[in-house]
Amino acid sequence: RVFLGQDKLTGDLVAVKELKRKNIDSVEGLKELIDKELKICKLLSQSLKDGESHIGKKYICKIYDVIDTEPFHYIVMEYLANGSLENPLEERETFPPEVAKKYIKQLSYALDYIHSTLNICHRDIQLANLCLDAHGNIKLVDFGLSDFFTKEATTHNSFCGNYASPEMILATKYIGYEGDCYGMGLLLYKLLSGFFPFRSSVDKIVEQYYIPLDELEREGTLNESSISLIKGLLEKDPCKRLTTKDVINHEWLQ
């Protein structure tokens, strides 16, 4: 659970995520997930404070501290009062293209930082995990399903339903960052259209892989450039899929 706290020294509000490790050994994989989340958050807490100037650090929720006690562990984070992108999208059918561009570019910077600098894949890219700061910029949150990756392809346990990539659904080997890029493609499609391109997970893995773009193009929701970006991110083969650097340099975001 996550609750609101306050820094006694500064008076600033903070978000505090509580993790309980007691009696979890009986739940397969849960202890490993919690241990990995704590390890990743400790690394992020340190790396976001160091002097390296990567623009992606601006778009990741600040982690102030990771407190280890028994049986509870606490992750103290930046409090983002404006909530996630999931709420405003429920109130409106779509986001204007310029707003969607802003969010996708900021997300691509955040993912590029954790991919290229820390070898971390988020693995849970969705509207609920993109919060807004006081200036209307996104902040990537919730590293509960995150994992480390190497150059060698492997399998990663668990995935997040609607945003899962084909390789996640099929439980085939992949490096890790590719799934984040696929999730970004699904998110972009949803920002612009208001719905997901696929009716079910089966549609993502069938041989006749089809991304429904024609109607949106006719309606003027998408143009040639945005279609190119969506197709590149939703490429079924993870080896051919666009990377975060490809997204950052894509013509639609210039």
Q: Which residues does the annotation mark as catalytic? A: 124
Q: What is the 3-state secondary structure (H, E, C) of 160-200?
A: CHHHCCHHHHHCCCECCHHHHHHHHHHHHHHHHHCCCCCCC
Query: Residue 118: how many CB atoms within 10 A of its CB?
Result: 15
Phi, psi of 11 (to 5 degrees): 85, 0
Say whether 238 sits in a helix, a strand or coil: coil
Q: Please say whether the beta carbons of 129 and 107 come within 8 A.
A: no
CA dihedral 26, 27, 29, 34 (to 10 degrees): -100
Sequence-ordered list of residues with C-beta below 8 angstroms from that of 14, at least 6 positions apart, any chain? 4, 5, 6, 7, 64, 76, 77, 78, 79
Closest by alpha carbon to 226, among 111, 106, 98?
Answer: 98
User: What residues are paired with 147 via a beta bridge?
Assistant: 121
Sequence-ordered list of residues with C-beta below 8 angstroms from that of 81, at least 6 positions apart, any chain? 13, 134
The structure tokens listed for 78 are: 């930046």
Look-up of token digits 């976001």: 48
Q: What whole-number distance in Å separates Cα of residue 50 and Cα of residue 31?
A: 29
